[in-house]
Amino acid sequence: MAGFISFLENRVMPVAGRIAEQKHLQAIRDGIILTMPLLIIGSLFLIIGFIPIPGYGDFMAGIFGDKWLTKLLYPVNATFDIMALIVGFGVAYRLAEKYKVDPLSAGAISVAAFLLATPYNTMFTPEGASTAVEVGGVIPVALMGSKGLFVAMILALLSTEIYRKIIQKKIVITMPDGVPPAVARSFVALIPASIVILVVWLLRILIENTSFQSIHNIVSDLLVGPLNALGSSMFGAIIAVLLVQVLWSLGLHGAAIVGGVMDPIWLSLMDQNRAVFQADPTGELPNVITKQFFDLWIYAGGSGATLALVVLMILRARSEQMKNIGRLSIGPGLFNINEPVTFGMPIVMNPLLIIPFILAPIALVIVTYLAMELGWVARPSGVAVPWTTPPIISGYLATGGKISGAVLQLVNFVVSLLIYYPFFRLWDKQKLAEEQASQSENKTVAL
């Protein structure tokens, strides 16, 4: 174990630290976070629209009319269906901040580049017709949501890199000192914005002369498809969780680092489930693995599923140190915040506790995936339940009001409790011995 810790410290930690500080990954992570309030608000309306109470639909129709559900879901469409636009703006904004150039201009240019790269046509099936026809002159809503997420991020990074390089080389139009700052900034952005638009325009024309037709098709065929296949598999989930736990074991925010790469995939899978659930709450959802899969079923109490460990400290600890940490940690732990445990116990760089800290989430991935894949438990419905929602409540809400989601959280809690227990007993015994030895020394000194 000492050799393993040495390997983590000397080989893994330096690489992980550099990845954590990488500007583009940080910008992607922070840009995606910008969508979270909107998705949560949209999810609230989705929950209200499909409350699983017999006769609820008829009751609402009697009060608000037959179109009540369509009108109630307007906010859902207005939040989920602009995900790519918000992420494109947010990624460019955060990256520009890190380069210390005007972030607002960078965000606006990124959105313009994304819309320029998007074909303004969609397929529409008229009422009573059996075949769809192509309609031009419209912004395709599907590509403004999760389907356009990767294109929006790529163009946000590309446009901001072009923008900041031109700004830093001072190839800009400068205005006299008396001009208002907002006007001066808009003229500063004029040349960089023109070059970004020119580059994306030429890129679009070039791609339209290939079999792909659009950058969306290129990204979908070459990037999104393979990444979705990996991100939606149990094997991919195990690898992701393993990386998160190893990074946390080193004191690095594993969820943020891995999430910077995988969150776009999991959000896309989440939105696929949301679209199916919104169309038919009884329909079969396509994906087991979504962002909620990890936040609500794997990381109860925080990364490492440490809520079970906190409960063990409260109920079974004999050492005063463990009892005190348990009492301090139970409040945050119920809302899936576990820094008091990971750094206070500590788990970080602790050879004994790192073992269950890694094993428990991996076991939960296997249990949860199989339970949902085999149909024993309802899959996540695409409702963006906040990761701070306490267990049981979150499992019920995230599965569209299915009790099986809450039951599985209880099962996972027991599984993690059993994995942590023997290691906790050893650590608690060690701390108790240290406390008793300290008390004996104090008595000896007093005599």
Residues 329, 342: contact at Cβ < 8 Å? no
Number of other CB atoms surrounding residue 6 within 10 Å: 10
> Phi and psi at residue 124, in whole multiples of 5°?
-135, 135
Q: Is the pLDDT of residue 183 over 80?
A: no
Rounded to an integer, the average pLDDT of 173-177 is 75
- Both tokens of 242, joined, read 């393993």
Which residues on neighbouring strands pair with residue 124, listed in sequence order?
Answer: 133
**DSSP letters for 132-189:** -EEEESS--HHHHTGGGHHHHHHHHHHHHHHHHHHHHTT-S----TTS-HHHHHHHHT
Q: What is the 3-state secondary structure (H, E, C) of 326-382?
A: HHHHHHHHHCCCCHHHHHHCCCCCCHHHHHHHHHHHHHHHHHHHHHHHCCCCCCCCC
- Both tokens of 124, joined, read 């529409």
Q: Is the pLDDT of residue 310 over 90?
A: yes
Alpha carbon distance 158, 99 (integer Å)? 14
Which pLDDT belongs to residue 214? 87
Q: Which residue has the tokens 């409260």?
A: 314
Which pLDDT belongs to residue 50? 84
Prior bond of 346 cis (ω within 30°) = yes
Which pLDDT belongs to residue 359? 94
- Both tokens of 334, joined, read 């119920």
Confidence of residue 55 (pLDDT cuts 50, 70, 90): confident
Which pLDDT belongs to residue 206? 93
Which residues on neighbouring strands pair with residue 134, listed in sequence order?
Answer: 123
Which pLDDT belongs to residue 285? 92
HSE-CB at 23 with a 13 A cutoff on CA atoms is 13
Burial bucket for residue 337 (CB in 10 Å: 0-12, 13-18, 19+): middle
Which pLDDT belongs to residue 373? 94
Alpha carbon distance 294, 240 (integer Å)? 10
Q: Is the pLDDT of residue 442 over 80?
A: no
Q: Is the pLDDT of residue 447 over 70?
A: no
- Both tokens of 136, joined, read 């031009």
Residues 45, 75: contact at Cβ < 8 Å? yes
Which pLDDT belongs to residue 313? 93
Which pLDDT belongs to residue 2? 56
Alpha carbon distance 14, 33 (integer Å)? 26
Alpha carbon distance 279, 274 (integer Å)? 9
Q: Is the pLDDT of residue 198 over 70?
A: yes
**DSSP letters for 277-338:** HHH-TTSPPS-S-SHHIIIIII-TTSTTTTHHHHHHHHHH--SHHHHHHHHHHHHHHHTT--
Confidence of residue 23 (pLDDT cuts 50, 70, 90): confident
Alpha carbon distance 41, 36 (integer Å)? 9
pLDDT more than 70, % of the chain: 92
Rounded to an integer, the average pLDDT of 202-221 is 87
Q: Is the pLDDT of residue 114 over 90?
A: yes
Distance from chain centroid for Cα 402: 23
Q: Is the pLDDT of residue 445 over 60?
A: no
Higher pLDDT, 89 or 222: 89
Alpha carbon distance 264, 253 (integer Å)? 18
Alpha carbon distance 280, 278 (integer Å)? 6
Q: Is the pLDDT of residue 227 over 90?
A: no
Q: Is the pLDDT of residue 211 over 90?
A: no
